[in-house]
Chain A
Amino acid sequence: MFHLAWFLSWQVQSWNGMWSGEGGTEWNHPELYVDMTRSLERAGFDYVMFEDGAFVPDSYGGNHDWWLARARSVPKQDPWQLLPVLAQHTERLGLVGTMSTSFYPPFMAARTAATVDHLSHGRAGVNLVTSHNTRTAQNFGHDDIFEHDLRYDMADEWIDLVKQLWGSWDADALVQDRERNVYVDGSRVRPVDFQGKWHRSRGPLNTLAPPQGSPVVCQAGGSGPGRALAARHCDTLLAQVESVEAMKEYRADVRARMVEAGRDPDSCKVLFIVSPVLGETQADAEAKNERVLAGFKADISVNLANMSYASGVDFAQYDLDAPFPDLSGTNATRSSMVMMSVNAQGMTLRQAAESNVRRSVELVGTPDAVASQMGEIVDEVGGDGFLISGNVNRRYVAEITEGLVPELRKRGLTRDGYTHEQFRDNLLEF
């Protein structure tokens, strides 16, 4: 069996597409996400993960107009306020929110995640990002972001401190001894007195130990330092790679790093990002995929803006018909840039922008066909599952949860119920 999760942001999901519904005015209210997470739970997903970013992009064309006009990456709301609502409407689904290790004080992060872990009876997770965008840094009062590898060094210390804070109360600190009139035993709660290179905190945390002890830690790290951080701290890892071979390599590398760090490699589940394109017939699905690809060609600004977003480099400045520019030396999401540059080799910028530059393994077909393909991939890679990242509208969610998942279940590939109450226990079950 393998695991399933869904990856999205709390942003405008879809507002002028064919199946958008009232997405333009509905995205910032809970209903769509409540419907979605209930469907994911019915389908036995392990978790939903909300990416986040705290800036208005202006990296393409030198201003924010394109982003605002398209509702791309802005507006975007803080997922940590949505998660408690979703916790109330679900029972077993893991709920993961993103926190920036560069800009969230560790104490605040530890407390927020612990609170959601209590509200959800042990289903909270934290997705670590180091933040790659200058505008984010400026919104938090810095001149610029920290250098890429330095950010990961800081993140390492950050999560170490956060975990210490979660551990500052013993699981049995709550005694509720009515006879002696003692609620919490003070000897089981202690300061952390953390003095790091970048972070300091006295502690202890001012709430009970989270039900899971430590909420699930998640990360998307493709670069060396990213993988190293994941190997030390993460329970689940998401990766966007574009071939089964690359999946194998990635997973094997992370597992080797975990062993080096003294961890059981089965204690971190590596999920690969996919966007299945489903249809009632193979031909319908292939035609739909062709329309998506034709869309990139018809409007190259989408990919130019995506590339600008990931790199911080304004792709509007380059000659479209000159060779793809050299991006070495940028301080952005490093693995994404490598993928782009490799895929764009030998192309002009226009040719690159007309193609799908951020590829994952292609899953196009009927639910039956795609389910088989997913089973074969996991067999080949060795584990652990997939993270669905697609256009969030109710029709697409239904295609996954009511179409694809029943086919996966029929083959015994994914769970048909939850064994455990807590998120980590379900994640580590297989």
Chain B
Amino acid sequence: MTTSKFHLGWFLGAGFGVQSWNQPWSGTGAHDWMLPDQYVDLAHSLERACFDFLIMEDSVQVSDTYKGSMEYYLRTASAAPKHDPAVLAAILAHETKHLGIIPTLTTTFYHPYTVARMMTTLDHIAKGRIGWNVVTGSNTRAAQNYGFDMPEHDVRYEMADEFVELAHKLWDTWENDAVLADVENGVYADHEKVHRLDFQGKHYASRGPLNTVPSPQGSPVILQAGGSSAGKAFAARWAEAIISNPHGTSKMRAYRDEVRTLAAEQGRDPDHVKVLYLISPVLGETTAEAKGKLQRRKDAMSKNIDGLLAGRSHLSGIDLSQFDLDAPLPADLVSNGHRSSFEEFKGDGTQTLRERLIDHSAIDTIEFVGTPEDVADQMEGVMQDVGGDGFLIAGAPLNRRYVAEVTDGLVPVLKRRGLTRDRYEHQLFRDNLRAF
């Protein structure tokens, strides 16, 4: 078999929040989720396993979408409390040597100058290993925390487009050889190589230049997740890696083909846009043990309709408690939050809301279950079939046992088969991402 190597990333779906606090193997998670230790251990393990990157999701509100109350979310520590991943990114950057570190920052809530400066600062600390997961924000309460109403979905993408364009222009305000650090002649930077920008856009303006020196990568690696047409257009223009969750191999292949075509239309090399699929492999010492674990998880989930409704309400911004569980959702129901994932969730109207909740995993593209050998077989098969760039592991809840199962059980098998890297080829995150 001649499968080329594929990439691995880890998707920290709960962000810098409560990972696991009342589950088997939660350890001290209820009390110490806000300390760096668990993430430092995770990053070290991912680096040992030669992952390309760790991405930390974020959101900035205490949800009350479900039943119009914060009760469910706070009682179960769902999506709140959550800390700022950019702060954690600095610590992880310092604790690692090769791993790409990717915080999530919302275009809608920041000024481009703030983000441009923060990313450059982090990329220096990380010696060229920072990425930026660009999100537009999806929740009304989050917008209200920043003092405004949430812009409409497609407008947010229009704003994001201008935001990222401006950020890149700010990163370019210093020429690469602007810093001389000429000790003898007493010249630190050559002022003629640092330029004003005077950007005036529809949504943003900035004079520039940036008040920091160019970072090792010049600009952070841009990540993005977005399946809507506005999201895909944005990705085609800017994204260097895409977090995606089309369900099943044919949709996975179609999604990747489309993104690559759109990127080529933008004049970009499609190989510079890596499409990574979200998965949560369930691993066990025997196939039966792993399948039993998955079944228990599904059983628990199907009994927790409340939790499934609250989660979907959070992502879509729609209070789903108002709908009949035993009828399909209204066909004309549109989310102003995570739009495409809600469309996918809603389905074609042949299943009831209850059935959709139970059958339709929130994030996984495909089910992987078994021993490390089994799952390596499955991953290899999907990559051959889809022709994709790799996977994003999103196993939740995060706990140290699960991390070990992936990094010390699954990945060694992938490495031995030559399916994933067994060393980092380059210093810079972007170069590693483009290595194959």
Contacts and interface: CB of A to CB of B under 8 A. Distances in A.
Interface of A: 18-23, 26, 31, 35, 38-39, 42-43, 279-281, 283-284, 287-288, 291, 366-367, 393-395, 397-399, 401-403, 405-406
Interface string B373-402: 000000000000000000000000001110
17 contacts: A20-B408, A21-B48, A21-B49, A21-B404, A22-B48, A42-B37, A284-B284, A287-B289, A288-B285, A367-B24, A394-B45, A398-B400, A399-B401, A401-B400, A402-B399, A403-B25, A406-B26
Given A21-B412, A42-B27, A287-B289, A403 B37 contact: no
Contact of B409 (A19, A38, A284, A399): A19
A20 B27 contact: no
Given A39-B400, A281-B292, A395-B409, 17 more contacts: A19-B404, A19-B408, A21-B48, A21-B412, A22-B408, A35-B41, A42-B32, A280-B24, A281-B296, A284-B289, A366-B24, A367-B24, A394-B45, A398-B401, A401-B27, A402-B26, A402-B27
B261 interface: no
Nearest to A402: B27
Contacts of B408: 19-23, 393-395
Contact of B371 (A18, A31, A403): A18
A426 to B, nearest CB: 18
Interface in B159-178: none
Contacts of A287: 286, 288-289
Contacts of B41: 35, 38
Contacts of A403: 24-25, 27, 401
A394 B407 CA distance: 9
Contacts of A22: 48, 408, 412
A250 B430 CA distance: 61
Nearest to A399: B401
Interface of B is mostly: helix
A398 B44 contact: no
Nearest to B50: A22
Contact of B400 (A18, A280, A291, A402): A402
A288 B285 CA distance: 8
A291 B412 contact: no
By size class, the interface of chain B is 20 to 34
A21 B45 CA distance: 10
A220 B48 CA distance: 35
Contacts of B405: 19, 395
Nearest to B30: A406
Most buried by B among A39, A283, A403: A403
Interface of B: 24-29, 32, 37, 41, 44-45, 48-49, 284-286, 288-289, 292-293, 296, 371-372, 399-401, 403-405, 407-409, 411-412
A89 to B, nearest CB: 11
A393 B24 contact: no
Contacts of B286: 287, 291
Nearest to A396: B404
A188 B6 CA distance: 67
Nearest to B413: A18
A176 B371 CA distance: 62
Contacts of B285: 18, 284, 288, 291
| Interface pairs A-B: 10 shortest CB-CB | A21-B408, A402-B27, A394-B404, A398-B401, A395-B404, A398-B400, A19-B409, A402-B25, A403-B25, A19-B408
Contacts of A42: 27-28, 32, 37
A42 B399 CA distance: 14
Contacts of A366: 24
B419 to A, nearest CB: 16
A397 B24 CA distance: 14
Contact of B372 (A18, A26, A280): A18
A39 B404 CA distance: 13
B37 A38 contact: yes
Contacts of A405: 27
Contacts of B24: 280, 366-367, 403
Most buried by B among A21, A281, A366, A393: A21
A284 B296 CA distance: 13
Contacts of B28: 42-43, 402, 406
A283 B48 CA distance: 32
A42 B38 CA distance: 11
Contacts of B27: 42-43, 398, 401-403, 405-406
A395 B401 contact: yes
A19 B408 CA distance: 5
Most buried by B among A20, A39, A366, A398: A398
